[in-house]
Structure 1
Amino acid sequence: MTYWDPIPTVRACVEGEPLPGLAAWVPAYDHSWSTWPDTWQERNWRNVPGPFYGATTDTCWVGRGVAPDHILYDDEFGQEFVYRQPRTPEETHRVMAAAWQDPMRGFQYDGDERWTPELVRDWWRERGRVREWAAALDRSWSVSSRADQREAAAGARAYVSHIDEGLAEYLRGYVFHLAEGRRAHRDEHLPKL
Structure 2
Amino acid sequence: MIGYWNPLPAARRVVERLGEQAEQLFTGAWEQRNWRNVPGPFYAGDTDSMAIGRLDAPEHIAYDDDLGGGFGSEFVYRQPVNEHETAAVVHGCRLELYRGYNWDGDDHWTAGTVRDWWRDRARVRDWAVAIAADWGADTHPHWGFNADPRYLGHYHDAARGHRDFIAYIDDGLESYLRGYLFWLEQRREPRDGEPLPRL
Contact 1:71 1:80 in 2 (8 A): yes
Q: Which consecutive aligned stretches of 4+ in structure 1 deviate over 6 angstroms post-superposition?
A: none
Structure 1: state its 5+ residue gaps.
Answer: 20-29
CA–CA separation in structure 1 for the residues paired with 2:125 and 2:28:
27
Q: Choose from 24, 32, 51 the match for 1:61.
A: 51
Counterpart check, 1:40 vs 2:41: no
CA–CA separation in structure 1 for the residues paired with 2:177 and 2:196:
10
Shift of 1:4: 1.5
Contact 1:33 1:108 in 2 (8 A): no
Larger radius of gyration, structure 1 or 2?
2
CA–CA separation in structure 2 for the residues paired with 1:180 and 1:152:
36
Corresponding residue of 1:179:
185
Corresponding residue of 2:20:
31
Letter in 1 for 2:39: P
Q: Match of 2:46, SS?
A: coil
TM-score normalised to the size of structure 1? 0.89
CA–CA separation in structure 2 for the residues paired with 1:8 and 1:106:
20
Counterpart check, 1:170 vs 2:160: no
CA–CA separation in structure 2 for the residues paired with 1:5 and 1:87:
8
CA–CA separation in structure 2 for the residues paired with 1:121 and 1:138:
25
Structure 2: state its 5+ residue gaps.
Answer: 140-151
Of all paired residues, the percent bearing the same amino acid is: 46
CA–CA separation in structure 2 for the residues paired with 1:38 and 1:148:
25
